[in-house]
Amino acid sequence: MGMSFTDERDPLDLALVREVQDGLPLSHRPYAEIGARLGMAEQEVIRRLRALTESGDIRRLGVVVRHRELGYRANAMVVWDIPDERAGELGSLIGRQPFVNLCYRRPRRPPKWPYNLFCMIHGRTREGVLANLEELIERCGLCDIPHRVLFSRRRFKQRGARYGAAKQASAQTREGLPLQPNERYADRTDR
Amino acid sequence: MVAQRESALNRPLSGLERRLLNDFQDGLPLSPAPFAEMAETLDVSEAAVLKALSGLQNQGLISRVGPVFRPNRVGASTLAAMGVPEGRLEEVAALVSAYEEVNHNYEREHELNLWFVATAPDRERLDQVLAEIERRTGIEVIDLPMVEDYFINLGFPLQWA
């Protein structure tokens, strides 16, 4: 996995990451505004963001949708117990399927947790997600691979990751909801 | 508040909103006036783009316009799982969600029923958070950090059925 960004990167990049992690200002010159907060020129902000995008540290730059609010309420984490020597090959194949949203290899933790590959499938209905899963199994030749489907029941919290506490204006999420009490986060889903 | 967010979809999305949601999940221009550039592509005014994006954000349909970082390239993150007795789930979930480092926290259908993602500037802080949650709840926290990322797709394809 290597060293993390924070250990070895330019402190100005890190400051920039912290400034943009909650999103860009929705204004005429967003990069200039970010720069003004950091004492950095607009062109410098743009140059650094471009470099972070080119290096793959920024995976994408744009509108981050909230799938659940848009009607994608069935959210399944599908986990697989794939022989280690096939994990790379099958992981890449699964990660390329159009309805798969994430595909990560993670360690097994036997005996409680034997699964080493995780993917997410979001859909409008549970039946739709299960149909996608059948298609995935068929297409990628996974019928002999043990798997489990973990649908989500309740969402207690969801927001973007924070890479440092630098930008904590208040005990509020970006959506403007209070962090506590927890009941305000919980929304019944799926069934 | 939840009800308000849920009801957002009860109104039809405008054509502009659909295009903003679908076509701009990646590739926000890295130029001084990115929203003006988007507006040009969409053949509307910059003000219309900004107004639509603010509206979508206020209604919770988008969480932000900005970068999505690759996990573990910026800071350290992990997925963690806990098997929480049914009667304690709300209490433990609230305790977990209260950590600033926790960005996702879901109940899932499994004996391991609470799943959360934690992100911190470094692995050391992450270890501290997980150990503290374990100590405060008396429930084992299973740490499942990403080993490899196979995901290729960018963004989330939406269908307007």
**Looking at domain A9-63, which of 3.40.190.10, 1.10.10.10, 3.40.1280.10, 2.115.10.20 is its CATH number?**
1.10.10.10
**Token output for A109:** 């933790």
Q: Do domains A9-63 and A74-152 have the same CATH topology?
A: no
ipTM > 0.85? no
Residue B76 to residue A100, Cβ atoms within 8 A: no
Domain ranges of chain B: 13-68, 76-144
Please tell me the CATH code under which domain A74-152 is placed.
3.30.70.3460
Cβ contact B79:B61 at 8 Å: no
Is residue A111's pLDDT more than 80? yes
A37/B contact by beta carbon, under 8 A? no
Q: What is the pLDDT of residue A142?
A: 96
Contacts of A24 in chain B (CB under 8 A): 28, 64-66
- Helix, strand, or coil here: A47? helix
Is residue B125's pLDDT more than 50? yes
The span from the CA of A147 to the CA of A118, in Å, is 10
Evaluate the omega torsion of the peptide bond into residue A181 and state whether it is cis, within 30 degrees of 0.
Answer: yes
- Fold of the CATH domain B13-68: Arc Repressor Mutant, subunit A (1.10.10)
Sign of the CA dihedral B48, B53, B57, B59? positive
Domain ranges of chain A: 9-63, 74-152
The span from the CA of A48 to the CA of A39, in Å, is 14
Residue with tokens 């010159």: A29
Q: What is the pLDDT of residue B7?
A: 41
**Token output for A179:** 């962090």
The span from the CA of A152 to the CA of A191, in Å, is 10
Q: What is the pLDDT of residue B111?
A: 96
Choose the closest CB to A153 out of B109, B112, B158: B109
- Fold of the CATH domain B76-144: Alpha-Beta Plaits (3.30.70)
Q: What is the pLDDT of residue A159?
A: 79
Residue range A115-124, pLDDT digits in tens: 999 999 999 9
DSSP per-residue letters across B77-123: EEEEEE---GGGHHHHHHHHHTSTTEEEEEEESSSS-EEEEEEESSH
Is residue A181's pLDDT more than 60? no
Mean pLDDT for the stretch of residues A22-29? 96
Q: What is the pLDDT of residue A177?
A: 30
Mean pLDDT for the stretch of residues A59-64? 93
Residue A69 to residue B59, Cβ atoms within 8 A: yes
Residue range A137-162, pLDDT digits in tens: 999 999 999 999 999 999 998 877 77
Q: Do domains B13-68 and B76-144 have the same CATH topology?
A: no
Helices (H) then strands (E): counts for chain A: 6, 6
**Token output for B75:** 């800071």
Q: What is the pLDDT of residue A182?
A: 31
Contacts of A153 in chain B (CB under 8 A): 106-109, 113
The span from the CA of A76 to the CA of A122, in Å, is 6
- Which residue has better confidence, A11 or A3? A11
